[in-house]
Structure 1
Amino acid sequence: MKAEGHPNFADVQVTCSCGNKFTTRSTLGKPSYSIEVCSECHPFWTGKQKMVDTAGRVERFRQKYGKK
């Protein structure tokens, strides 16, 4: 394989809006990233996720396709 065909893969410092900082690797070429949501503050990973039922959609689905 050609050596110049691959991008540079380097360590980068990632900073979340919640204040969490961690190091990962990237091909972007920047020394640092700023992100809005990480695994420390995302509702799915923190267990604070809420299921929003807009206008009874879940209940209508269950009535239509649920066991009879």
Structure 2
Amino acid sequence: MKKEIHPKYFPNSHATCACGAKHVVGSTMEKIGVEICSSCHPFYTGADKLMDTAGRVEKFKQRRAKSDSAKSGKDRSGAVIKKS
């Protein structure tokens, strides 16, 4: 077997979450930065997070209005488009 091919293992690595929670884990990296952890994940905390549904609805309405105007033969300004 080849010697010294495995990375160095740190049994007391520090994983720091974006929420500020710190966890001690074993890893090949000394310091780890994560975006979400068990301290702030909605599944573990039971708290619901509101998504940006209002922005999505507005985008959908704009796309629908755009497609309806294309079907009616008018451009965005309301002028009639002549088809040849």
Q: State the TM-score bracket (shorter-chain normalisation).
A: 0.5 to 0.7
| TM-score, normalising length: structure 2 | 0.47
| Match of residue 5 from structure 2 | 5
Give how far 1:16 is off. Answer: 0.9
**5+ unaligned residues in a row in structure 1: which ranges?**
51-68
In 1, Cα distance between equivalents of 2:32 and 2:6 = 21
In 1, Cα distance between equivalents of 2:3 and 2:38 = 35
| Match of residue 35 from structure 1 | 34
Q: CA RMSD in A?
A: 2.3
**5+ unaligned residues in a row in structure 2: which ranges?**
50-84
| TM-score, normalising length: structure 1 | 0.55
| Match of residue 45 from structure 1 | 44
Equivalent residue of 1:40, what SS?
Answer: coil
- Which amino acid in 2 is paired with 1:13? H
Give how far 1:2 is off. Answer: 3.1
In 1, Cα distance between equivalents of 2:14 and 2:36 = 15
Residue-pair matches, total: 50
| Identity score, percent | 46
